[in-house]
Amino acid sequence: AHRGQMNRKRAAALAATGSLTGLMTGMLGVGGGFIIVPMMRKLTDVSMHGIVATSLMVIALVGSGGVLATATHGATLPLEVALWFTGATAAGMLSGRLASHHIAARQVQLGFASILVCVALGLLVKAALM
């Protein structure tokens, strides 16, 4: 079947991806881009820009939910730190968005895969040293 056609198997795979993303986010605070991007690339015909937009939307929704949950449980939010981090993140996203128009989708995928490998190796080293 064409990757763009939704069927039960593809819908189940995407739902499983969403569940795994939620599980990893809940346990480790990671998952959005690391899981969504490669799985959507494999299972759909959505463009890389569309996949990134979807991933960012999921991360924003999950992050907003986390902030609300934390605030409603009486935790103090480090507002100054959050504002600096948010500003720097927004600037980085804008830079990345502008750069993405000049970089081939394949190069973006290779860069993303390289970052995943580096992060995985770093986690392995950290776990081995603990």
What's the pLDDT tens digit per position in 31-40?
677 788 888 8
Mean pLDDT across the stretch 73-84? 85
Assess whether pLDDT exceeds 80 at residue 5.
no
What's the pLDDT tens digit per position in 25-70?
877 777 677 788 888 888 888 888 888 888 888 888 888 887 888 8
Assess whether pLDDT exceeds 80 at residue 78.
yes
Percent of the chain exceeding pLDDT 70 equals 95
Phi-psi region of 74 (alpha: psi -120 to 50; beta: other; left: phi over 0): left
Mean pLDDT of the chain: 84
CA dist 129 and 102 (Å) reads 40
CA dist 42 and 53 (Å) reads 16
DSSP class of 129: H
Assess whether pLDDT exceeds 90 at residue 3.
no
Which of the four pLDDT bands, split at 50, 70 and 90, describes residue 2? Answer: low
